[in-house]
Structure 1
Amino acid sequence: MCRSIKTLRPPMAPEVTDEDVRAAALQYVRKISGFRAPAPHNAEVFDTAVEAVAAATRALLDGLVVRGQRAS
Structure 2
Amino acid sequence: MCRSIKTLRPPMTPEVDDEDIRAAALQYVRKVSGFRAPAAHNRTAFEQAVDAVAEATRQLLGELEVRGRGPSRPASTPS
Normalised by the size of structure 2, how large is the TM-score?
0.87
CA distance in 2, matches of 1:20, 1:6: 9
CA RMSD of aligned residues (A): 1.1
After TM superposition, the runs of 4+ consecutive aligned structure 1 residues lying more than 4 A away are none
CA displacement at 1:70 relative to structure 2: 4.7
Structure having the larger proportion of residues in strand: 2
Gaps of at least 5 residues in structure 1 are none
Asked which structure has the greater RCO (Cα within 8 Å, sep 6+), the reply is 1
Identity of aligned residues (%): 72
Residue in 1 that maps onto 2:32: 32
**Secondary structure at the counterpart of residue 15 of structure 2:** coil
Alpha-carbon offset, residue 69 of structure 1: 1.6
Number of corresponding residues: 72
Instruction: Return the alpha-carbon distance in structure 1 between the equivalents of residues 29 and 68 of structure 2.
Output: 32
